[in-house]
Structure 1
């Protein structure tokens, strides 16, 4: 491998890679169009069958809204992911079959959970089985935690982290637009970093998920006409989380940490804070920073736009890590400061934000 590729000549290599591999971009556009159509048709079907998300203690909406929009997103994305796998990858390796099988299995489990809630133990057991089964089969080139943990502990910790990411992606799907925005950002970051570093990672797969999320976002933007449901958030967290672990195992740990940092930080800090206050981790709540911001009066759209802006900066910082160890360390520090600042603003809303409109459900 040429030194510049190994070190990751960022922008020029990204441009050349994406220009010479327009296939992934075509698949992303196809996923967006198919998702746009499929989610609209699905909305009517869910309404007719009264598959609705009724407001509860965790909700930030006030009106019963169809849930299960992830079925339409997956109906658009999965055939393209399978086609990419059958053609041995477009613009890079395909998503491993074991992850596709795990994603479909979790979608089936989560759809059952959407229709009639499952107890926590069988639900979490399914998540752990999908994560550890894939880790056992994936040909990871190195340790996920960069040698900080011995081999067996690295595998154990990676599986737990993956299962946590699956669940936090579900927990964070609490206002209109936020998970669509997050999926677009993570899919874009994964594809760009793979191209910039020339590591053998999927390029088409994350862009397909990003495209499908963009199509879904048209109907999920505030006021949302449909929600992802567990059938959407759980498989998305699984597929994106798995690709982030693959990125870390290829030595790009800084990018794998920076790209999802907002979701990781908000969900993890909220969980730790609730545990410190003696709350049950399974109890429904609205304590995430983005939910606090909505309760304070910011609209769903405004909060999701803040998250989108933050994620755009995180994508740029993740890409900057390809330039070498020193830029990677600086990028991690800047990402931590940015995310910490945004979380503080969401929770305490300083005066410079100005007056906000009363929050509305949706």
Structure 2
């Protein structure tokens, strides 16, 4: 596997950040007029706030990644680019006028399926399984991942606090040759785009990503993690997004067990319960950011150590770290 040179990665961050910031700033008046998110009983914000600035993040990411691809530095799958655009358009329409659940899931499944089923046949996670069955399972997991990133984008800077450490870690692994250069370059471009968006989304946010941002971010990040898993680093691919995976999955099964309409918006996630339990928004995203830095360190350790024992210990440490944060968020803070 060819390592991604440091300079293109750093340039990807340096170029994507101002592009994202510029598009966010210039699009703000239009979003203020046509895509206003009004607070309701399930919201974490209290004043009407424009949504849809995720279009800046996605455009900046794709422009930089495709620019590097045009120079011959990397190869970005056409199916991934097209799927990202389609799923962003679906999110944009949903930001303006809510789409039916079945329509959203059908289009998301088609996008994820296009990416997964056009991947090389030798990209395998469990070679003992039939290829078609493995790919179907990956598509199911991919649709869930795309949606859980959307579900978890419910606080100011939340997605930045999650995705920046993950993409930075993926960039490092690309530099060391442990991740395909295409995935590493895309990850660093996404990292830069989110850093450019961050000043507009810090508490109290001036603008939100919206579904046009959170859904394609989930697709792009999921593809990068899948490439890491296909490279034989399944433990690292699970550790990096561990907080999002655990919070969303536990919340989903709890709602199903309570026979709630789990597909509707709610305030049941641990990070949402934390704000109800007395945590401030900066404290919640700060603790999640610190947790993700720790998880990124553990993920890198599993890859670089190349030891089964180290991998098992790192997975155990990651589970404990996530469990501690979830427990803290679910308990009221002392006055």
Show the counterpart of 2:29: 44
For residues 252-309 of structure 1, the C-alpha deviation after alignment (integer angstroms, 9 at most, x for no partner) is: 1011000000001000100001111111121221000000001112111111111100
Q: Deviations over 1:171-204 (max 9, x none)?
A: 0000101011212122112222233353434221
Q: 1:179 aligns with which of 144, 153, 159?
A: 159
* Structure 2 gap ranges (5+): none
Query: Within the alignment, does 1:339 sit opposite 2:322 as a pair?
Result: yes
2:138 matched residue in structure 1: 158
Aligned 8 A contact 1:168 1:267 in 2: yes
Q: How does 1:1-362 map to 2 (within 5 A)?
A: 20-47=5-32, 49-89=33-73, 93-139=74-120, 141-144=122-125, 146-147=126-127, 149-201=129-181, 202-322=183-303, 323-324=305-306, 325-349=308-332, 355=335
Aligned equivalents of 1:332, 1:141: Cα separation in 2 = 27
| 1:359 alignment counterpart | none
Deviation at 1:88, TM superposition (A): 2.9
Q: Is the 8 A contact 1:25 1:204 kept in 2?
A: no
Contact 2:255 2:262 in 1 (8 A): yes
State the SS of the aligned residue for 1:203. Answer: helix
In 2, are the aligned partners of 1:98 and 1:134 still within 8 Å (CA)? yes
Give 1:243 shift: 1.4
CA distance in 2, matches of 1:83, 1:224: 30
Deviation at 1:226, TM superposition (A): 0.2
Q: In 2, distance between residues paired with 1:211 and 1:110?
A: 21
Give distance in 1, aligned partners of 2:105 and 2:69: 28
**Closer, same or farther: CA 174–140 of 1 in aligned 2, 3 Å:** farther
Q: Distance in 2 between matches of 1:70 and 1:179?
A: 11
Scaled by the length of structure 2, the TM-score of the pair is 0.94
Q: TM-score of the superposition, structure 1-length normalised?
A: 0.87
How far, CA to CA, are the matches of 2:107 and 2:302 in structure 1? 34
Displacement after TM superposition at 1:149 (Å): 3.8
Residues 50, 255 of structure 1: alpha-carbon distance in 2 compared, 3 angstrom cutoff: same
RMSD, aligned α-carbons:
1.8
Looking at structure 1, the residues matched to 16 and 191 of structure 2 have their Cα atoms a distance apart, in angstroms, of: 8
